[in-house]
Chains A and B, each alone.
Chain A
Amino acid sequence: DQQVKQNSPSLSVQEGRISILNCDYTNSMFDYFLWYKKYPAEGPTFLISISSIKDKNEDGRFTVFLNKSAKHLSLHIVPSQPGDSAVYFCAARTNGGSQGNLIFGKGTKLSVKP
């Protein structure tokens, strides 16, 4: 059973517009949520995170929103740039057991067109 779901395998956006990537989760024990960005032939790199006690975290062009009641988070990129084209993974961490290991979604491939 998938605990972290990214239901959109791909997303295409025009340069300068907003990109919104979505993620749903099922486990109410998750205490941190993270977004990772991955370019081809490279490892994932950490982008932004949010604690379960907050509903928004912002870092430059990237903002993550958390809606705990809906078990939903989203990553907003404004404005989108061609260099943002990559696969974005949503990940969640459980407090307590499993040593705080991260559980990843399947990823969303973002394409930003010039």
Chain B
Amino acid sequence: NAGVTQTPKFRVLKTGQSMTLLCAQDMNHEYMYWYRQDPGMGLRLIHYSVGEGTTAKGEVPDGYNVSRLKKQNFLLGLESAAPSQTSVYFCASRRDNRGFGGYTFGSGTRLTVV
């Protein structure tokens, strides 16, 4: 049982380049999330999805796009990377919104934009 898997683990981009971060979960969770973590800023929500085919904006969505074509996958895209997007990105998933279900996080993707 792998849980939440993020690929790649590390990436260096040049300003203006594009890339896609992949998040895959094998727990049949409905909800999936993308967070970024910056020094002194904690975890901030970029986008989230409450089910296959749905996406919604979080706290800091600008410069990112997402897609949830399959229930198990949540993709985060950077169309034109900027140095301000240098961060550690975490994907998380949750079973549903009934009662309380804790988030399961991936191990993160460290992205540097030069």
Q: What residues make up the interface of B, taking CB atoms closer than 8 Å to A? A: 4, 31, 33, 35, 40-45, 48, 50, 56, 58, 90, 92, 97, 100, 102-108
With contacts A89-B42, A99-B31, A100-B97 known, is A42 near B102, CB below 8 A? no
Q: Return chain B residues, CB-CB under 8 Å to A45.
A: 105
Pairwise interchain contact A101-B33, C-beta atoms closer than 8 A: yes
Provide the main secondary structure of the chain B interface.
strand
Q: Contact check, B56 vs A44: say whether CB atoms are below 8 A apart.
A: no
Interface size, chain A (Cβ < 8 Å): 24
Query: B43 and A43: CB pair below 8 A?
Result: no
Alpha-carbon separation in the docked complex, A45 to B42 (Å): 14
Among A34, A49, A107: residue with most chain B CB under 10 A: A107
29 examples of A-B residue contacts, CB within 8 angstroms = A6-B42, A32-B100, A34-B102, A41-B108, A42-B107, A42-B108, A43-B90, A43-B92, A43-B105, A43-B106, A43-B108, A44-B43, A49-B100, A49-B102, A51-B100, A89-B42, A89-B43, A93-B100, A99-B48, A99-B56, A99-B97, A102-B45, A102-B103, A104-B43, A104-B44, A105-B42, A106-B40, A106-B42, A107-B42
